[in-house]
Structure 1
Amino acid sequence: MKALRFILLAVAALVTCLLVFIHFFPAKVLMFALDAERKQAGLVRKEIHFGRDLHYVFLEGGQGEPLMLLHGFGANKDNFTRIARFLTPHYRVIIPDHTGFGESAKPKGASYTPTEQAKRLHELALALGISKVHLGGNSMGGQIALVYAQLYPDSVESLWLLAPGGLWKGPVADIWKELEKNPQALNPLVLEREEDVVALVSLVMEKPPFTPKAFLKLIARERMANASIEKQVFTDIQSHDITEDIRGLDIPSLIVWGNKDRVLHPGNADLLHELLPNSRRVLMEGIGHLPMMEAPEKSAEDYLKFRKTIQSAVPLG
């Protein structure tokens, strides 16, 4: 009994110390946590420079066929770190920060349209010695992946589309309908006030992983510092509807959508399935806009099954 009491007191003391450390040194603890998660996934931080105004910071790990994963609007490369540990045993995984986000270049006056972003990523792929690539992307990243495939169809082996953007003529989520009624309201995806970060997390994820408030504040401050670029990016991606550009794109594609997605309407999965003749779709129950963060193991399992269908040449449907 005394031993159990001692263990419980020791655990309580450790938890208290950790909470205190998080409170006073949140940036250091967050970086430590990210480094640990990257290490578990077999990922290493790298960077490559193409000139003063263009450089990429990216995570890379694993061996096999190249799989490039593209994060969504307002996010960064670590949105895919949690799921990467299920992927690096099978593939060479590359996860860049898009230009304008994370640690990559943020050139003033640059164009952030999906077309320009896709061209930059193609330059990155070639610099890494990649001529054929499997692409995965969430939200804005999915939109960029589709544009990349349309621009360079002979370079893309398959597409993994996790609630991709760009289908602006499809079903619209309620949040954007409400914004149309009140144009003066703030864009909920662009953080301009620290206190809005909790609402943003609840908007994009139905089952968000636990994140200490100190970490959320750090994330909010980084997003606020990048708000001017994000507003430009948002305008650039909204101005590019990709529906007709990708119609009939005959690349093996896995379409994944959470049925609780409140950012991009799940009904767009059906529309995209009709546009891509060589596609299959997965609707994830109880999942929001970020399947790879909310259900990383299940999302990876579905993807690995999809890749096996490509290898065995089983028709998709």
Structure 2
Amino acid sequence: MDVDPRFTRRDKSRNRLLAHLLSLALALLPCLATARADGLPPPGTALQSRAIQVGDTTWAYYEGEKNGPSLLLVHGFASGKDVWARLAADLGTDFHLIIPDLPGWGQSTRLPGQNYDIEAQATRLDGFIQALDLQQLTLVGHSMGGAITGVHAVERPQRVARLALIGSLGLSFVENDFIRALNAGDNPFIYDDRAGVERTARLVYLDPLPMSDQQVADAISLNRAQRAFIESTLEQIRPPSQWRALDPRLGRLNIPVLGVGCREDRVIDISALQTLENRLPPHQARQLVTLDGCNHLPMLERPVETARLLRNFANG
């Protein structure tokens, strides 16, 4: 039986993407350090690597073909643009994707002594959006990226049509072990041995994959290279005003909102969705979804469901 070459190419592309994601998941622990060293976009996607200078910052970002409405995907703390690779493969055929490394992370500019807290990053994000002249955006933010995109959507709403928050920082939630560790002065995002790497993997993954000694060594090396910035930025976002940056602002949102959380999230407790429900204006369009079978990274652990939710929401 003859095989349509289009399907062969598609299968090979998908296999390359899965291999790329497996490499990230094992060696780099997405949510900790996900930038590709070569700067190339993930295989299996139609993304192109780009850069743009905005003030004193060079933004590194991926951009997809202009196949539909614009989606801007913003990563979380100690992460990078590659964490969205699987979703980009699924959504790129229907949307115009823009996926940056936030300033300070990945391949975007990191300036010594600068402020990288929620409000400062939201201001930088506005400059990036204006530089690309993006309009009628669906902003999608994960974890710290959720707080940044949420603050931006409230304070600078002119170019934003919809806001999707995934496991978002910035919302009050029931105190969990992660918050208790932070309050005790710990930093769960740094490590020097296998035990530390595995602890951090368990913090963000529901079922972490086993790691070879080389993969552990690579993760530690990358973590040490970023340690000073991880520590200084965590101190900047440690105050309650940062962790709850969206609480006092939600009443001013006047665009549709999608909130997605994982029932077993060990970083942002699922009760954050209840805060979102309670603090949005009563008339405000919203969709709140709890996913099972994932921890803090639904875009990696539940990619099909997450992509479907974003597609339906953005097309709303």
Amino acid at match of 1:87: L
The counterpart of 1:66, out of the listed 65, 70, 73, is 70
Matched AA of 1:307: A
Residues 79-111 of structure 1 show CA distances to partners (whole Å, capped at 9, x for unaligned) of: 101111111111111111111111111101111
The answer to whether 1:91 aligns with 2:95 is yes
2:85 alignment partner in structure 1 = 81
Alignment partners' CA distance in 1, 2:219 and 2:74 = 19
Summarize deviations over 1:19-43 as a string: whole Å, max 9, x none.
xxx9xxx99xx959995x7231211
**1:285 is matched with which residue?**
292
Distance 1:55 1:40 in 2: 26
Q: Distance in 2 between matches of 1:73 and 1:143?
A: 11
How many residue pairs align between the two structures? 277
Question: Which secondary structure state, in structure 1, belongs to the residue aligned with residue 236 of structure 2?
Answer: helix
**Structure 1 residues 59 and 86, CA gap change in structure 2 (3 angstroms):** same
Structure 2 residue identity aligned to 1:301:
R
Gaps of 5+ in 2: 1-18, 29-34
In the alignment, structure 1 segments of 5+ residues that lack a partner are 1-17, 311-317
Which amino acid in structure 1 is aligned with residue 125 of structure 2?
Answer: L
Deviations 1:156-182 (A, max 9, x none): 111111010012x431222322554xx
User: Is it true that 1:137 corresponds to 2:141 in the alignment?
Assistant: yes
Q: How does 1:100-249 map to 2 (within 5 A)?
A: 100-167=104-171, 169-180=172-183, 183=184, 186-188=186-188, 190-195=189-194, 196-208=196-208, 214-239=214-239, 240=242, 241-242=244-245, 243-249=247-253
| Percent identical residues | 28
Residue 265 of structure 1 aligns to a residue whose secondary structure is coil
**Deviation at 1:135?**
0.5
State the secondary structure of the residue aligned to 1:55.
strand
C-alpha separation between the residues in 1 aligned to 2:256 and 2:175?
A: 26
In structure 2, the partner of 1:54 is 57
* 2:264 corresponding residue in structure 1: 260
Alignment deviations for residues 260-291 of structure 1 (CA, whole Å, 9 cap, x no partner): 10011111111112222321111001210110
C-alpha spacing 1:31/1:130, structure 2 compared with 1 (3 Å)? closer
Q: Which amino acid in structure 1 is aligned with residue 98 of structure 2?
A: I
- Contact 2:250/2:276 (8 A) holds in 1: no
Flag the 1:262–1:128 CA change in 2: closer, same or farther, 3 A. same
1:282 and 1:95, CA in 2 relative to 1: closer, same or farther beyond 3 A?
same
Greater C-alpha radius of gyration = 1
Q: TM-score, with normalisation over the residues of structure 2?
A: 0.80
Q: Among residues 290, 306, 314, which one is paired with 1:307 in the alignment?
A: 314
TM-score, normalised relative to structure 1: 0.80
Q: Could you say what the CA RMSD is over the residues aligned between the two structures, in angstroms?
A: 2.6
Q: 1:215 to 1:60 in 2, by over 3 A?
A: farther
Cα distance in 1 for residues equivalent to 2:302 and 2:288: 16
Whole-Å separation in 2 of the counterparts to 1:193 and 1:105 = 26
Q: Does 1:295 align with 2:302?
A: yes
2:74 and 2:149 in contact (8 A); partners too: yes
